[in-house]
Amino acid sequence: MVSAGYDELVETRELRYFVAVAEELHFGRAAQRLSMAQPPLSRAIQQLERRLGVVLLHRTARATALTEAGSVLLREARLALDAVEAAERRTRRAAADQPGVVLATKAGASRELLSKLLHAYAAEPGSVAVEVMLCGPGEPESLLRNGRTDVALLHRPYDTTAGFDTEDLHTEQQVVVLPKGHPLANRAYLSLVEVNAQTDLPLPRWPGRDGGHPDGPGPQVRDHTQLFQLIALGLACAVVPESLRDQLRDDHAIVPVPDAPAVTTVIAWPPHSRSKAVADLVRTATRL
């Protein structure tokens, strides 16, 4: 007998429906997002609950909330849907005539490393086309999980590398970026507490995993360009890896922050990847 049978599994449709409801916490809006009417959605969730023998949502007439089991399913269902999506995408790409490999990294980060890597890999014998996909913070992990990309450059501890194979490429200290002429700008170094303590320059708020910005005083930013613009205008400051220095203009000042956690650039790929191109890319990267 070959590998155990998967019988009676939940369908991806049901998981999609549940994720929509769990994220919206509102059947009507979830139905709208799924381009369907509310009643069949309600029924589908009920059916899912009956099948699992588990109450997933706590409904009151006024609000809908996740139960403990519901939030477990939300997390697991996202992973499962990502895996299904990855299966679909990787199969399509495996069938495409031109092989190619997709690499993701946060826009603006590790520029120099990336260009060195791309040049070195292109010089390798048997190298294939590398499509670089620039994306916002927090995104690369999910792009890797759902098969949109084959390999990514991540930055610990900003990005989480859980569930991927990784190789460390480069470690660097962080610096605080200030508007030129700011009182703290001529210090030899600053500590994290000093940066956090000063109140005239708020720290920016990056979007979280869910796409929403956390609450707080600072301005909302989506990329480094926005960030550096705001800093130049004297509206913010930020602690960033020192390699971003070459993207600064002369109306910026930087001060080392020795006690900020060091940032390690890693190359990451799905653990079960069998792609020769990914393997070559990783090997090239570690040899830089």
Partner DNA sequence: GGCGGCGATACCGCACGGGTATTGGTCGTG
Partner DNA sequence: CACGACCAATACCCGTGCGGTATCGCCGCC
Min CB(83)–DNA separation in Å: 21
**233 conformational bin, left if phi > 0, alpha if psi -120 to 50, beta if neither:** alpha
Is residue 58 part of the contact set for a second copy (CB under 8 A)?
Answer: no
Cis peptide before 157 (omega within 30 of 0): yes
Q: Footprint of a second copy on residues 150-179 (CB under 8 A)?
A: 162-165
Is residue 79 part of the contact set for a second copy (CB under 8 A)?
Answer: yes
Is residue 1 part of the contact set for a second copy (CB under 8 A)?
Answer: yes
Q: Using the rule CB under 8 A, give the single segment among 37-45, 111-119, 171-179, 271-279 that binds a second copy.
A: 271-279
Min CB(32)–DNA separation in Å: 10
The partner in contact with residue 45, picked from a second copy, DNA, none with C-beta cut-offs of 5 to 8 angstroms by kind, is DNA
At 228, list the tokens: 């550096």
The partner in contact with residue 212, picked from a second copy, DNA, none with C-beta cut-offs of 5 to 8 angstroms by kind, is a second copy
Q: Using the rule CB under 8 A, give the single segment among 82-90, 123-131, 185-193, 223-231 that binds a second copy.
A: 82-90
* Cβ atoms 151, 103 nearer than 8 A: yes
**What is the rounded CA–CA span in Å between residue 59 and residue 67?**
10
Give whichever of 62 and 272 is closer to DNA, judged by the CB atom. 62
At 244, list the tokens: 């971003």
Could you tell me which of 198, 200, 203, 229 has the C-alpha nearest to residue 218? 203
In terms of DSSP H, where are the helices of 34-165? 38-52, 68-95, 111-123, 139-145
Cβ burial 164-184 (10 Å sphere, 16+ → b, else e): bebeebbeebbbbbbbeebeb
Q: What is the 3-state secondary structure (H, E, C) of 243-281?
A: HHHHHCCCCEEEEECCCCCCEEEEEEECCCCCCHHHHHH
The partner in contact with residue 140, picked from a second copy, DNA, none with C-beta cut-offs of 5 to 8 angstroms by kind, is none
Bridge partner residues of 278 (DSSP): none
Is residue 225 part of the contact set for a second copy (CB under 8 A)?
Answer: no
Give whichever of 78 and 187 is closer to a second copy, judged by the CB atom. 78
Is residue 9 part of the contact set for a second copy (CB under 8 A)?
Answer: yes
Applying CB under 7 A, the residues found at the interface with DNA are 13, 25-28, 35-40, 42-47, 59-62, 64
In 107-243 the beta strands, taken as DSSP E runs, fall at 130-135, 151-156, 165-172, 174-179, 238-241
Give whichever of 212 and 258 is closer to a second copy, judged by the CB atom. 212
Crossing angle of helices 12-24 and 68-95, in 10° steps, is: 130
Q: Which residue has the tokens 């960033």?
A: 240
Min CB(20)–DNA separation in Å: 12
The partner in contact with residue 15, picked from DNA, a second copy, none with C-beta cut-offs of 5 to 8 angstroms by kind, is a second copy
Is residue 13 part of the contact set for a second copy (CB under 8 A)?
Answer: yes
Is residue 233 part of the contact set for a second copy (CB under 8 A)?
Answer: no
Give whichever of 3 and 98 is closer to a second copy, judged by the CB atom. 3
* Cβ atoms 151, 280 nearer than 8 A: no
Q: Which positions touch a second copy (CB under 8 A)? A: 1-7, 9-13, 15-16, 19-20, 23-24, 33, 52-56, 67-70, 72-73, 75-88, 90-92, 94-95, 142, 147, 162-165, 209-212, 270-272, 274
